[in-house]
Structure 1
Amino acid sequence: MNYTIEKNEQFALIRLAESQFGEEVSTPFEMLSRSLFREGYSNIIVDVAAVQTVDQAGITTIRRINRQCINEVGLLILVTKNEDLITVLDSANISDLTILPTVEEAVDAVFMNELENDFRSEEDDEYDIGGSVGNADA
Structure 2
Amino acid sequence: MNYTIEKNEQYALIRLSESDFSDNIAPDFETLCKGLFREGYSNIIVDMATVQNLGPAGVIAIRRVNRHCTSEEGLLVLATGDDDLVEHLDKAGGADLTILPTVEEGIDAVFMNELENDFRSEDDDEYDRGGSVAD
TM-score by length of 2: 0.95
* Equivalent position amino acid for 1:102 in 2: T
SS in 2 for 1:23: coil
1:19–1:93 Cα change, 3 Å: closer
Where do residues 45-64 of structure 1 align in structure 2 (5 Å cutoff)?
45-64=45-64
Deviations 1:19-47, CA, capped at 9 Å, x for gaps: 01001100000000000000000000000
Runs (5+) with no aligned partner, structure 2: none
Q: Give, in angstroms, the shift of residue 131 of structure 1.
A: 3.9
Runs of 4 or more consecutive aligned structure 1 residues displaced over 2 Å after TM superposition: none
Aligned match of 1:11: 11
Aligned match of 1:92: 92
In structure 2, distance between residues paired with 1:58 and 1:95? 17
Aligned match of 2:40: 40
Q: Is the 8 A contact 2:59 2:93 kept in 1?
A: no
Aligned match of 1:135: none
Identity of aligned residues (%): 67
> Which structure has the larger Rg?
1
Aligned match of 2:130: 130
Runs (5+) with no aligned partner, structure 1: 133-138
1:74–1:128 Cα change, 3 Å: same
* Equivalent position amino acid for 1:37 in 2: F
Cα RMSD over matched residues?
1.1
Q: Give, in angstroms, the shift of residue 94 of structure 1.
A: 2.6
TM-score by length of 1: 0.93
108-117 or 92-101: which moved more?
A: 92-101
Q: Is the 8 A contact 2:63 2:93 kept in 1?
A: no
Aligned match of 2:103: 103
In structure 2, distance between residues paired with 1:30 and 1:94? 18
Q: Is the 8 A contact 2:4 2:15 kept in 1?
A: yes
* Equivalent position amino acid for 2:71 in 1: N
